[in-house]
Amino acid sequence: MQAANRLQKSLKAGRPSLGGWQMLPGTNLTRVMCRSSSNLGWLLVDLEHGNISDDTMHEIVAAAAACGVSPIVRVVEGRPWAIKRALDSGAHGILVPMLETAEDARRIVQFSKFPPAGNRGFESLLAVEKFVEQHPHGGPVREPTGLEYLQQANDALVIAVQIETKAALENVKAIAAVPGVDVLFIGPFDLGVNIGHPMRGQGEMDPELLEAIQTIHEAARAAGKVTGIYCDSGEEARRYADQGFLMPSAMTDMVGLRKVFRQAFEGGQ
């Protein structure tokens, strides 16, 4: 399973992995995004703010995995049912928004891991085929068995928690120290609003927000964890990658569509 999880392989090797972000439904869109560049390592399937239902999530996860891109599902909230549905779809990892304490993080890990590390219920029929190892031009197909999924999932899946509130910022060292949490992912828009320093136009940040982002990054590194962050451009993602952030997003479908259409129609005037 770990060999098929492109995001986790990069994180384990200490290499940045740039991600895409899908808010709109449709597997044609998924395939276009995933095949747009060999540099796209993971695709975030956004159930929290996106227009994506549970059944559509299953289809997007399958389409991304078939393209060799790791599907990561941002669940609606850190409840057992939400985490179970995402992982049982075959997601290579989850992103949980709006947690605030180390206890929240421990519960998320518990819901995400099979016993004895957690209490996730076992059913792998839909999940295993999202970890198939197959050469794109033919050759043998290697799909994990259900038993292999059970034995490997606790170590092979990426568990990311989103630091985007004042309380989470205050508790970030304790959250980072929770075993089983792999990534502290920064949502700069919500984080800025929650600490009273919202982002301005063109991604401009107050010094207080920049300091908060650095505090989270340092807490993650001190605990041996990875930092991720939401970005609106490849240039911004690369800047963070150069600073040691290993899981920056680079483009969101709605943002990219708006940019491309604006450029086309403004250029045509």
Q: How far apart are CA 57 and CA 74, in angstroms?
A: 10
Of 49, 135, 137, 197, the active-site residue reads 49
How many residues would you count in the chain? 269
Please give the torsion angle defined by the CA atoms of residues 103, 107, 112 and 118, in that order, rounded to the nearest 10 degrees.
110
Phi, psi of 248 (to 5 degrees): -90, 140
Q: How far apart are CA 29 and CA 26, in angstroms?
A: 5
Phi, psi of 204 (to 5 degrees): -70, 140
Q: How far apart are CA 91 and CA 207, in angstroms?
A: 36
Q: How far apart are CA 261 and CA 264, in angstroms?
A: 5
Residue 49 is a catalytic residue: yes
Residue 154 contacts residue 114 (beta carbons within 8 Å): yes
Which amino acid is present at 220?
A
Q: What is the CA radius of gyration of the chain?
A: 18
For the beta carbon of residue 220, count every other beta carbon within 10 angstroms: 27
Positions marked active-site: 49
